[in-house]
Amino acid sequence: MALGLVASTVVAVAVIDGEADAKPAATVVAAPPETTPIREADKQFTGTVREVLFAGSYVYVEVELEGGEMRWVVGTDDPPRVGERVEVSAYGERRDFHSRRLDRDFARLLFGQFEPA
């Protein structure tokens, strides 16, 4: 299933796990239509990058929060480095997501943006 990302200034589509590898033309402001809303507590969080996986123009990042909770976040930003502290702004989630490019399943995957913390 393809997920489109809606961009603010210019509407552009980037297909995740599909044929296109182009990045969105502007900053992402809305969740892909197939995502579900997320809890308020999950919209902004800070943690340490534990793993980074590349799939076309997308980067999958495993973030460890204080207390040891692990969260997978996918975005189109420049990838953070393993060990780097990041602040995540998440705007949607998918449950039981399968990445064809990575041939990997994610029980819970957040869609978001990364900034150095």
Integer angstrom CA distances of residue 67 from 51, 71, 75, 111: 17, 12, 24, 22
pLDDT at residue 35 in the model: 79
pLDDT at 81: 97
Domain spans of the chain, in order of start:
34-116
- pLDDT for position 100: 93
Q: What are phi and psi of 42, to 5 degrees?
A: -95, -5
The matching CATH number, chosen from 2.40.50.140, 2.60.40.10, 3.40.50.960, 1.20.1070.10, for 34-116 is: 2.40.50.140
Per-residue pLDDT of the chain (117 residues; tens, 9 = 90+): 334 333 332 333 344 555 444 444 444 445 555 778 888 989 999 999 999 999 999 999 999 999 999 999 999 989 999 999 999 999 999 999 999 999 999 999 999 999 999
Task: Provide CB contacts within 8 A for 1, sequence distance 6+.
Answer: 34
pTM: 0.72
